[in-house]
Homo-oligomer: A and B are copies of this chain.
């Protein structure tokens, strides 16, 4: 059986309260008894039981992170950022992936609830109004990271990419390079991130006096295949686009692959801008011009936000965080010939 403070108490000939106090360096205990008890504890290989402690202390120093999948080039660094600052603050993280399955997301939240985590970070969720209510009732602070629905409520706090700003940056970059026929391959229609990027795209066009042409917008879903499928139709247009803004890097990668098959040279024939700056954006051919999101820092900030929420009184004001990405120019864009 595992060794508890009672075992140590027996071995040291004291009560378990004394052991508890000695191990937590209480000033009530003599230096020598402390030393002896600590020695015995070490000899017996004692490790405190975080469960028992958390029961009486009322906190678990554990947070839950629910994610669609950890094998997502965008999310992995974010989770890394979360775990990292959690560790620095003495917290540990329970990871649950929901695979875009709402039922499983619910199950994950329930599990975290029963484990009595001190807070929860939910990433890339499409928390609806209903589910949001449920999340609100969870009893612990919840931070939504890049959630796909609009609202942030009284209970929930968010850190989100500034989609509109980033999309505007991307489109402006193409415009500055002399492009005027600029296409957009969209992401999932029901994600607010897509709406924001679409809006930034339109806005940049309007500012430059370029008409918005709906034929230049192709539907996508943020995955590589969507990019591959979308390109041919765009290139079949009477007036081909010379610039292309993609919902994200994965889409752009699909486009690049399709372009190669179609014999379209990037960036000579078509300039492409992605979104996210996932790790591989700089490794592909040609290296991708994109809107970089500070993924690691996003995770850090989300965790930091959760921590202040955990420690502060629940009615202290916290403002949502909006994160601006920045343009990284690589080799998939060039001045229009």
Contacts and interface: CB of A to CB of B under 8 A. Distances in A.
A264 interface: no
User: Can you tell how many copies of this chain the complex includes?
Assistant: 2
A111 B83 CA distance: 13
B51 A60 contact: yes
A50 interface: yes
Nearest to A287: B257
Given A70-B76, A94-B93, A50 B284 contact: no
Contacts of A84: 97
A55 B296 CA distance: 36
B76 A71 contact: yes
A2 interface: yes
A52 B50 contact: no
A240 to B, nearest CB: 22
A137 to B, nearest CB: 7
Interface string A61-102: 010010001111100110110011001000011111100000
Contact of A70 (B54, B55, B83, B92): B83
A260 interface: yes
Contacts of A48: 114
Contact of A224 (B111, B257, B283): B283
Contacts of A110: 47
Interface of A: 2, 45, 47-52, 54-55, 60, 62, 65, 69-73, 76-77, 79-80, 83-84, 87, 92-97, 104, 110-111, 113-116, 137, 139, 224, 253, 256-257, 260, 279-280, 283-285, 296
